[in-house]
Structure 1
Amino acid sequence: MSLASLTAIDVHVHVEVDDEGHPSLGGELMEASAAYFRSDHRTPTVDEIAQTYRDRNMAAVVFTVDHQGATGHPPISNEYVAQAAARHPDVLIPFASIDPSRGRAGVAAAARLVGEHGVRGFKFHPSLQGFDPTDHAVFPLYEAIAALGVPAVFHTGQTGIGAGLPGGGGIRLGLSNPMLLDEVAAAFPDLQIVLAHPSFPWQDEALAVATHKSNVWIDLSGWSPKYFPPNLVRYANTLLKDKVLFGSDFPLITPDRWIADFDRLDIKPEVRPKILKENAGRLLGLPQ
């Protein structure tokens, strides 16, 4: 995989089912998420994901979320995601997810996943995983990821998981306030942190953190670009033009829909390739 051969890099793609049909979410949460996003095909296989991106000459960062400690639902294994992605090295880049409640076992797993399985980064979802990113009990995991030299993606803002359920299915939105990650970024300056999604209702907070901390990036997944707040577009065009990343949130939003709406957005011509692939290429260390 080389940057020059790709039209775009989607840094935010979910693996929602494994080859045995095991889903990433329990029934109630999966149904609420599908209804929230009005998704027609909520659980494509990894092979289907790969073909989707190969047909578009794009690459995709793929991952699941390990939230067993908070929800009791067994995760899709990180090893499966890595092995499935290895079937499609021309288009898929595997990330892993470690439940912070795993403690020292999670720290050991991080090193093994990178060293033995070729994982290129890690995904956290504080609201779904039920943890405060500033909890010092999680800091050894951050330290390990920083030492491995790979990025960490954190869900920020509102989530469609649990949306519309009584009590939101127990999901706490406040755990995904991007200001919590300001402390993490300050404590771990060598850890590259990606704030996933337009961070409603904390968009300005996300922009402030990404502008202030050189090790903080923003991905634009989970929203159609036509709904982006004006301030996000302004910063993407200027102060954060080298730190904003294309992400769709597939299968919840298709890359076709995202790109079509992005094409209508008032983004400077010289900034477009940065957002679509060049910034991600630098973050992921892809060859030119």
Structure 2
Amino acid sequence: MDVRRLVAIDVHTHAEISKDGHSSLSPELLKASEAYFKASGHRQPTIAQTAAYYRERDMAAVVFTVDAEHATGHPRISNEEVAESCAEHADVLIPFASVDPWKGLAAVREARRLVERHGVRGFKFHPSLQGFAPDDRMAYPLYQAIEELGVPAVFHTGQTGIGAGLPGGGGVRLKYSNPMLIDDVAVDFPQLRIILAHPSFPWQDEALAVATHKPHVYIDLSGWSPKYFPPQLVRYANTLLRDKVLFGSDYPVMTPERWLADFSGLEIKPEVRPKILKENAARLLGLAVPHAQTREKTTP
């Protein structure tokens, strides 16, 4: 992957459908999600189609699914399939995996295998959908393995469109996605790189507090149009968290075009924009060419 030619790195995109047509969500949850995002009948691109989409736009993308088999009973998309499909498009796609922490030691073994044999570069958790509190010690052996493997962990934070409008929210408990629950994880696994996904409504201040206090906690900006970002999020992105905020779209629910168009109107300092769009992610994912060296090479 030639990072220098990339316009941006999108750290939050979803593999929603497998090669054989299996959806990552049950029909009930998918329909509710489409209604919430006003995206009825939205396209579910294959990973190959996602690669073509990002390649045309000179962007790279992190791709993952969500394994929530324990809480939902719905079979996941294979992590191996995601990794293998991304490997076929390694110029633009970066594979992450999702392992249900309720699977115990089997989850730990799978996480190690996925990184060591399949080139997975990180892991995605959705506590509300997976039905667990991030600070539950049940998940700690899995966190320990991910920390030892030296790859990041992405945690969904804040409200979710999954289950919205269904009776009882489809069984999805919002409390599990309070970013303050991840503070214990950051304390107990101090070398684990953590990404708090999305503006964390209604816990934005909690997310900012954790990210400013814990050196390896980042925030991605996916799932919301930037024009709706809370003012304190914009303020911190411009200042204290300028090296720890990441561009993410939530594709295919939200396209990078819409996100970037709205981001262009945000009052972000010129020197901070490239950090958010590419440099911070490249450094976090181990893809970066040091900025100073880049300047030296391009200066006559």
TM-score strictly above 0.5: yes
Tell which structure's C-alpha radius of gyration is larger: 2
Counterparts of residues 85-104 of structure 1 (less than 5 Å): 85-104=86-105
CA distance in 1, matches of 2:92, 2:219: 22
Aligned length: 288
**Cα-Cα RMSD:** 0.7
CA distance in 1, matches of 2:34, 2:88: 27
CA distance in 2, matches of 1:122, 1:199: 19
CA distance in 2, matches of 1:41, 1:53: 18
Q: In the TM superposition, what is the alpha-carbon distance from 1:131 to its structure 2 partner?
A: 0.6
CA distance in 2, matches of 1:124, 1:163: 19
- Residue equivalent to 2:273: 272
Greater shift in the superposed pair: 218-227 or 32-41: 32-41
SS, match of residue 163 in structure 2: coil
Q: In the TM superposition, what is the alpha-carbon distance from 1:207 to its structure 2 partner?
A: 0.2
- Please list every run of at least 4 consecutive aligned residues from structure 1 whose deviation after the TM superposition is greater than 3 angstroms: none
CA distance in 2, matches of 1:112, 1:287: 25
Q: Which fold has the larger relative contact order, with Cα–Cα distance below 8 Å and residues 6 or more apart in sequence?
A: 1
- Residue equivalent to 2:287: 286
CA distance in 1, matches of 2:163, 2:137: 27
- The 1:217/1:287 distance shift into structure 2, 3 A limit, reads closer
SS, match of residue 237 in structure 2: helix
Q: Which runs of 5+ in 2 are unaligned?
A: 290-300
- Residue equivalent to 1:33: 33
Q: Which runs of 5+ in 1 are unaligned?
A: none
SS, match of residue 66 in structure 1: coil
CA distance in 1, matches of 2:169, 2:140: 28
CA distance in 1, matches of 2:92, 2:71: 32
- Residue equivalent to 1:174: 175
Q: In the TM superposition, what is the alpha-carbon distance from 1:2 to its structure 2 partner?
A: 2.6
SS, match of residue 195 in structure 1: strand
- Residue equivalent to 2:292: none
Q: In the TM superposition, what is the alpha-carbon distance from 1:117 to its structure 2 partner?
A: 0.3
Paired residue type of 1:24: S
- Contact 1:2–1:287 (CA under 8 A) maintained in structure 2: no
Q: How does the TM-score come out when normalised to structure 2? A: 0.95
Q: Deviations over 1:175-215 (max 9, x none)?
A: 00000000000000000000000000000000000000001
CA distance in 2, matches of 1:220, 1:42: 22
Identity %: 71
Paired residue type of 1:9: I
Counterparts of residues 122-161 of structure 1 (less than 5 Å): 122-161=123-162
- Contact 1:34–1:42 (CA under 8 A) maintained in structure 2: no
CA distance in 1, matches of 2:102, 2:206: 27
CA distance in 1, matches of 2:203, 2:285: 26
CA distance in 2, matches of 1:287, 1:217: 16
Q: In the TM superposition, what is the alpha-carbon distance from 1:287 to its structure 2 partner?
A: 4.2
Paired residue type of 2:251: F
CA distance in 1, matches of 2:100, 2:67: 5
